[in-house]
Amino acid sequence: MTKISMKKYLLKTVLITLGSCFFMLSPLATKSVHAASDVDTLNKEIQAKRQKIKNIEKQIAERKSQINSAKAAANSLKGQITILDNHITQVELDVEATSEKLETLTLEIELLEAEVEILNENIERQKNIIGEFIRNIHTDGHKSMLEIIALYDSFSDFYSQLQYLQTIEHDLSNTAKVLSAQKKDIVKKQTAAQERKKSYLALEQQLTQKKKDLGEQVYAKEDLYVETKKSEKTYQTLLSSLKKEYQAVENEISSIEREVRKRLEAQKKLQPTDNKKLSWPVPSRYVTARFRDPTYPYRNVFEHNAIDIRAAHGTALRAASDGYVARARRCSTWRCYSYTMLIHANGISTVYGHMSKIVVAQDQFVKRGQIIGYSGGTPRTPGAGPFVTGAHLHFEVRKNGIPVNPISYLVKDW
């Protein structure tokens, strides 16, 4: 074969290869165009969602500002109602924002899937080009090496062409590897997005629960209207009475703890222990009000020196640690606040409030996890006390008689 014939042969080979690849890949190219169009559309929708979320978050910030402003008037009936109403509106906005975030995340996942599809097509295209190129060049693969070399004017020409083809194959192979790596990266992002979606779903459930809690506060608000007959004077009388009752309970807990601990230590009945962590008193870990929560709606009545844990009415309450029952205050009316106080080693004591039933007696020792009673807190039920916001456990932890944040003492797992 002459040098001119060899060039024609190579040109023919390249044209056949490119023609075959184009014919074979044209449907994929069409798919890529559609996928790219989907990507643009999804990007626009995501941007629109993000802007909507920003607008909602701005409304939430404004609502928080209104709540702070209303706190100054919390000692009035109107101010108290305004705080409750603003809390409810804020949570409704939180729920809406979370829903928008979930929808945004769904679009982001669709976007990642579209990008993966495009990368898959590109990878497949590169593989086909490499394969077709090699197949066309070696159409006469049954020939011996000597016969193939004989087609060239010189061994140098053959070697140059061989290096050229190897370079092309190497470059195409590298391109496929790069695209494959990009695909893996996208898949990782997609997995991460799915995990984020689980987090958002959990957050949405939490906000839905919080909305339910605040809905119960609406019930408390209506109950407050009934109690006060929408009279500011009646409200002030009730407020004064509640403050006195709270202070009386606080003084009772403090004095009894001092006396009982002193007696137990003198009798050496409280042995120090290395286990300084407390068990959760109920299965739920959903905290409806934090320790000294600045958003607590009744801070004008008392400081919230506890955490409120969501618990259905009648949930079994278990001792957070081995201890001694220093106080078991039972109530037969809803206006009375029932609670149990346990004295533990290491200067720790725990208080369980809004109990619907107490099954232990004073001057009794209990073990960690032992049932001491059942939760209450449903408005107008025995032991719930006034101004209660719904079924829950009021859980206090005290260190050397001083209220501390229970979260710092509770174990992460049972």
The confidence band for 410, taking pLDDT boundaries of 50, 70 and 90, is very high
Tell me if residue 409 falls in helix, strand or coil: coil
Mean pLDDT of 4-32: 47
The pLDDT assigned to 174 comes to: 75
Which amino acid, residue 45? Answer: E
Please report the beta strands in 292-379, taking only residues with DSSP state E, as ranges in sequence order. Answer: 307-310, 316-318, 323-329, 339-343, 348-353, 355-358, 365-366, 371-375
DSSP 411: -
pLDDT digits (tens, 9 = 90+) for 360-394: 999 999 999 999 999 999 988 999 988 787 899 99
Pick from 409, 408, 396: which is nearest to 254 by CA?
396
| Predicted model pTM | 0.69
Question: Which residue do the tokens 């109950």 mark?
Answer: 223
Q: Residue 54: which residues within 8 A CB-CB, separation 6 or more?
A: none
Residue spans in the chain of domains classed CATH 2.70.70.10: 231-408
Q: Are 217 and 88 in contact (CB under 8 A)?
A: yes
Considering the domain 231-408 in this protein, what is its CATH number? 2.70.70.10
Burial degree of 256 (CB within 10 A; 0-12, 13-18, 19+): middle
Burial class (CB in 10 A: 0-12, 13-18, 19+), 202: exposed
